[in-house]
Amino acid sequence: MIRLPPYAPGMRIGLFGGTFDPPHRAHLGASLLALKRLKLDRVWWLVTPGNPLKDTRGLAPLSQRLAAARSLTRDPRIAITGFEADLGVRYSFDTVSYLVKRCAGVHFVWIMGADNLRSFHRWQRWRGIAGLVPMAVIDRLGPSLYSIGGVAGQALGHARIPESAAGSLADRRPPAWVFLHGLKSPLSSTALRALRGRAPSHKSAAESAETRDVAAAAGA
């Protein structure tokens, strides 16, 4: 039996998937924002073996990424898991399908950044994901303007609910999604990978802004 974080029927759980290489404070800020605005009980970080749409050469080992994610967040409402490697799946549709079947009665919400909505139509069975669970899209600096007007944003436009109704998203029948404003982080794992090996004393303006964003998300 695949080991999952604790859950129970009736719980509202956000699913936040990614390689998390490395995990950073924008991931934490997005999770805190989702917990508060969507009225979630938990957020699970699904640390994936690799992203089928990206070059995974040079990707840090899964165990290292899991440890880094756990060291970043101490919030008991955020669980870190790498169960997809044990499950042997590569695509988010398979992960979500498994969870929906196994965790009967749990209200799952798929969480992703606006940059992912922009490329969502390239995901394997992306319409299927939207048909399995409600989705929350978190504002990002830059991609937000174009993501809603992209292929997936337009195709799912009829299912978008007002941001003022975000607290009811987990209880809605999919397809349903909401765009959450309030976190415009300039950080990305791709950019941070490029900075590996830089002297730790040189903190970027983006990283400084990130600390403010996380604090703002916690109080949003």
Domain that holds residue 98: 12-190+201-218
* pLDDT tens sequence for the chain (220 residues): 899 999 999 999 999 999 999 999 999 999 999 999 999 999 999 999 876 656 666 799 999 999 999 999 989 999 999 999 999 998 999 999 999 999 999 999 999 999 899 999 999 999 999 999 999 999 977 656 678 889 999 999 999 999 999 999 999 999 999 999 987 555 454 544 444 544 443 344 443 444 444 444 555 5
Residue 78 within any structural domain of the chain: yes
Number of domains within the chain: 1
pLDDT at 81: 98
Residue 50 within any structural domain of the chain: yes
What are the C-alpha distances in Å from 2 to residues 85, 88, 99, 101, 102?
10, 10, 11, 13, 10
Question: H/E element holding 189?
Answer: helix 189-194
Q: What is the CATH number of the domain that holds 89?
A: 3.40.50.620
Task: Evaluate whether 16 touches 111 at the Cβ level (below 8 Å).
Answer: yes
Residue 195 within any structural domain of the chain: no
Give the CA radius of gyration of the chain.
16
pLDDT at 105: 98
Residue 79 within any structural domain of the chain: yes
* pLDDT one-digit tens code per residue, 180-209: 998 755 545 454 444 454 444 334 444 344
What are the C-alpha distances in Å from 76 to residues 31, 85, 202?
12, 23, 31
* pLDDT one-digit tens code per residue, 12-24: 999 999 999 999 9
Type of residue numbered 212: R
